[in-house]
Amino acid sequence: MATAKAAAAGISGSLAPLQNIWIKELHRMEWGLAPLGDAMFDAAQLTPGERVLDIGCGGGRTTMEAARRVGPRGRALGIDITGPLLEVARRRTVEAGIDNVEFVEADAQTYPFEEGTFDVLISRHGTMFFDDPDAAFANLGRAVRAGGRIAIVCPQDPLTSEWIAVAVGAAIPHVGAPDLGAPGAPGPFVFAEPARLMQALEAGGFRDIAVEGLIRPVPIGSDVDDVVEYVTLLPQSQTLIAGQPERRVAAAIAALREALVPFIRDGRVVMNDSAWLATARR
């Protein structure tokens, strides 16, 4: 996750409209991404005493979990350029009494990491917004020791995620399709094609690269109203409905409400999300 410093820090300008949503919806994002984060940690196989870098750490939940897994002899560093999210992360670590964690507000694409500092790099949806993914992974590759490893998750093609496909399907008859970005362009779906992700990892000097598709049921919201509010808040939705006749917008929202009803489970809206899980060694 990243910030208002996007353009100045070398991160894609496509990131800027998302920063306020990440701050406002932090708990939803963490809640929803938890199943994908679990898969990342299973693949990372952290062991006591290791040094871990968490790329795009946001509110620090994954960094804190990494610190717990490597124990007091290990260390975890979270890097992100969203200051308000890092404030949350630092507060959480103090409240939890975790003292083998550190956070830095910086751009991982250009930050001068000491060479070979880390045993493991992890990231849960934090590597998609670099202006130059190859340069970013080259910088990150220098930060991990020879023989070290990486485990990251990032989105697949947007329409492979059930919640996005349902929302788009509800919108199209009434207001048309949202612009989800050009294939390969910096943004949430830059690694929609696994070959692009493998190319970036190769640029970082990684080997034994494996990319696996994940499909996980995730909570999208507490109820239909909550999900509708979230979906309509997204920049793609705001752009799509801007200037549309009110009746068309109302019809699209009504269609979305109806489409979400079958996904209510135990008082929550639960839908499948997709991601790539990439692992490699340096």
Identify the structural domains of the chain with CATH numbers, from first to last. Answer: 6-158+182-220+273-281 (3.40.50.150)
Q: Read off the pLDDT of residues 62-106 as tens digits, 9 standing for 90 and up.
A: 999 999 999 999 999 999 999 999 999 999 999 999 999 999 999
Q: Return the pLDDT at 98.
A: 96
The single residue listed with the structure tokens 């220098």 is: 142
Q: Return the pLDDT at 235.
A: 87
pLDDT tens string, the chain, 282 residues long: the values are 333 333 323 334 455 556 778 788 888 889 899 999 999 999 999 999 999 999 999 999 999 999 999 999 999 999 999 999 999 999 999 999 999 999 999 999 999 999 999 999 999 999 998 989 999 999 999 999 999 999 999 999 999 999 999 999 999 999 999 888 776 777 889 999 999 999 999 999 999 999 999 999 999 999 999 999 999 988 889 989 998 999 999 999 999 999 999 999 988 999 999 999 999 999
Strand partners, 270: 219
Strand partners, 121: 53, 150
The helix/strand count (H/E) of the chain reads as: 11, 8
> Coil, strand or helix: which one is 220?
strand
Of 194, 262, 253, nearest to 225 by C-alpha is 253
Q: Return the pLDDT at 15.
A: 54
> Coil, strand or helix: which one is 41?
helix
CA 54 to CA 30: how far, in whole Å? 15
The single residue listed with the structure tokens 């001068």 is: 112
CA 226 to CA 133: how far, in whole Å? 34
Distance of CA 141 to the CA centre of its chain: 19
> From residue 19, how far is each of 13, 14, 25, 38, 158 by CA, in Å?
11, 10, 10, 24, 19
Neighbours of 232 (CB within 10 A): 16
Q: Are 262 and 253 in contact (CB under 8 A)?
A: no
Q: Read off the pLDDT of residues 19-46 as tens digits, 9 standing for 90 and up.
A: 778 788 888 889 899 999 999 999 999 9
CA 253 to CA 250: how far, in whole Å? 5
Neighbours of 96 (CB within 10 A): 13
Q: Return the pLDDT at 17.
A: 59
Q: Return the pLDDT at 16.
A: 56
